[in-house]
Every structure is written in structure tokens, then in C-alpha cells.
Amino acid sequence: MSAIDISHLTKAFASGILANDDINLNVNQGECFCLLGPNGAGKSTLINQITTELKPTKGNIRVLGIDVALKPAEAKKMMGIMPQDCGMFEHLTVKQHIKIFSKLKEISGRDCVRNIITSLKLDEHKNKKIGELSFGLKKQVLLATALLGSPPVLILDEPGTGLDPEARRNVWAMLKEKKKEGTTILLSTHQLEEAEYMSDRVGIISSGKIRHLGTISSLSATLKNRFELKMKKVSDQTQITKYFEDIGTAVDFIRMKKIDGFSLATISLENVYFELLGSNRY
């Protein structure tokens, strides 16, 4: 059984905007699936339907077999949700904020709140009011509330946005551990580095449709140029990048040009993303 099963999902707004157009998607239990796409592509609309904030115009969504439209309260109990933007209780401390959400989720025990605070390295901020926190720290508090009770499915909208590099790596490491424990993660992000590090599979959405779906390696295999050679001009040390269909051709080029300082690797998710969306940057 899929953790998330989306069938012929369509969302049309009264304004005439077709935000999601006949989307079919299965997210497997225990995988991290990253949803990618430009602004306005329909990512947040899709997530808001999964989390029951919006009702589909057509189609069905099931989370662990539960129809989210027919049984929204039951479905939400299966999910830890981190929205991109969310009103917070600015006058409460971090500890109080997380504690209130633990009660709303009917999760008892001080250890749960304490462990969440410690695991996200929020101890030094636990007695600060939410209104005093930076944007990045507020994002970590939102993640903390999503993790309460160790829900089997995590729905995370832009979890790494606004975090400093150390906090971002800490969050990624924690989510990797959750995945090892069997948690399913659906993660929407603009950060291709985040998707490359975290994902088992990615889906690229554009104009309301899932245009491309698969592992990074399977998507890159569909492209003509799969290897990236970076080198520097001897004269002014300017970096030059060239792309090759196969590694043999790249090695022949290096030998022919007698290149000393270089790096050769498979193309990154960034290359794959822009090429598949038709914004060829290489």
C-alpha cells in the first residue's frame, strides 16, 4: 500500500486558475519524495489538498488508505505537517508553543517536548518568545510541531528555506533518521541541493501537471549530456565547464587537451531540472 495515493487530482479555483491538472502520484511507504517546480507551478496547492486545507475539484487523495476528503480528521492524525507559512503564537516561548501543540495532538509527556527541542538544537532558545526569533528559528519550531508524536507521514513545505547551513544540515540529518525508522516524507522545495541530498525520487511539476517523475539517476539518463567537466584556463584561471554524452569521450578530451586540473562528475540535479523544464543552462 502506498503511503500517499493521488488519483486524477484536479484543483480549479473560481478565478479560473487550474492549479492542479489531473495529477496521478504514489508516494511509497518509507521513502522521501521531493516535489520540485517553479513558483506558481502548483506545488503548494497540491500539498494543501493532501493536508486537507483545500478540497479537490476532482479526484481522490488517500493517506495510508484514508480518504482525506471524506475523513479529514482521521487523515490528519497520520500526518505531521509543516506549512510554508503559518501563524504562530508570537507571545509564547518556544517551549510553551511546542507544548500547546503536543496537547492539541493529544500527546502526553514532558519527555516528548524536551526530546524534540534537544534534537533540533533549540535548547538555548526554548525560553525565548516566538516573536523574538529569526525566520529560520521559527521554521525549526514549525518542524518541531510537525515531528511531535512521530507521525508515520511527514508533509513538509520548504523546510530548509531560511535556515543557516548548520541548521539545514541538522534538519536533513534528522529527517534521514526518521526515514530510516520508516517515516514517509513528502517534501516540497525550491532548493535543489536539498532534493539531491534527501530524495529517493523526485517529481517535477509545471503548469499544474507532474511533467517528470523518477530517481535523479533515471531522470538524468534521459538526457543527452550526462557528464560534467570543470577545468580552469591557465591564463586567467577562469573556470570552464563542458558537457559530454559519455565518460569515454570526456576522458579522450582530457587526454587530447592535456588538462591537468579538472573535476569530472555526472551532471547535478540542477542540470537535470533546468534541462527537463526547457530552461537549458548547459
Quote the domain boundaries for residue 248. 224-266
From the centroid of its chain, how far is CA 34? Answer: 4
Same domain for 237 and 173? no
Between CA 176 and CA 130 the distance in angstroms is: 27
Torsion angles phi and psi, residue 82, rounded to 5: -120, 100
Is residue 277 in some structural domain? no
Q: Are residues 59 and 134 in the same domain?
A: yes
> Of 188, 215, 242, which residue sits at a domain end?
215
The reported pLDDT for the residue numbered 203 is 97
| CA–CA separation, 76 and 81 (whole Å) | 8
Considering the domain architecture, whether residues 143 and 31 belong to the same structural domain is answered as: yes
In one letter, which amino acid is 217? S
User: Does residue 103 form part of some domain?
Assistant: yes
* Domain membership flag for residue 271: no
Together in a domain, 29 and 148: yes
| 250 part of a folded domain | yes
**266 φ/ψ angles, rounded to the nearest 5 degrees:** -65, 155
What is the separation, in whole angstroms, between the first and last Cα of the chain?
A: 40
Q: Give yes or no: residues 200 and 236 share one domain.
A: no
Specify if 273 maps to a domain.
no
Note whether 107 and 230 are same-domain residues.
Answer: no
For 154-200, the DSSP string reads EEEESTTTT--HHHHHHHHHHHHHHHHTT-EEEEE-S-HHHHHHH-S
pLDDT tens for each residue of the chain, 282 residues long: 799 999 999 999 999 999 999 999 999 999 999 999 999 999 999 999 999 999 999 999 999 999 999 999 999 999 999 998 777 889 999 999 999 999 888 887 667 888 889 989 899 999 999 999 999 999 999 999 999 999 999 999 999 888 999 999 999 999 999 999 999 999 999 999 999 999 999 999 999 999 999 999 999 889 888 898 999 876 677 888 899 988 899 899 988 888 888 888 888 898 899 989 886 554
Q: Same domain for 162 and 207? A: yes
Rounded to the nearest 5°, which phi and psi values hold at 188?
-95, 130
Q: How far is CA 209 from the centre of its chain?
A: 17
Residues 168 and 242 in one domain: no
The Cα–Cα gap between 62 and 4 comes to 6
Residue 278, in any domain of the structure? no
Q: pLDDT value at position 172?
A: 92
- Structural domain includes residue 281: no
Query: Between β-strands 201-206 and 32-36, what pairing exists: parallel, antiparallel or unpaired?
Result: parallel
- The continuous run of DSSP H or E covering 116 comes out as helix 110-119
What pLDDT does residue 234 have? Answer: 67
Question: Do 54 and 99 fall within a single domain?
Answer: yes
- Verify that 201 and 229 share a domain, yes or no: no
| Predicted pLDDT at 27 | 98
d(CA 226, CA 154): 33
Residues 199 and 261 both lie in one domain: no
Q: What is the pLDDT of residue 104?
A: 85
pLDDT of residue 107: 81
d(C-alpha 21, C-alpha 10), whole Å:
5
Residues listed for the chain: 282
pLDDT of residue 128: 96
Of 215, 238, 256, the position where a domain reaches its end is 215
Is 235 part of a structural domain of the chain? yes
- Count of beta carbons in the 10 Å neighbourhood of residue 272: 25
Is the same domain home to 172 and 235? no
Return all residues near 25 (Cβ < 8 A) that are at least 6 apart. Answer: 4, 6, 9, 203, 210, 213
Return d(Cα 95, Cα 141) in angstroms, integer.
9
> How far is Cα 137 from Cα 122, in angstroms, rounded to an integer?
8
CATH number, domain with residue 98: 3.40.50.300
Report the number of distinct structural domains present in the chain.
2
| Cα–Cα dist 75/98, whole Å | 21
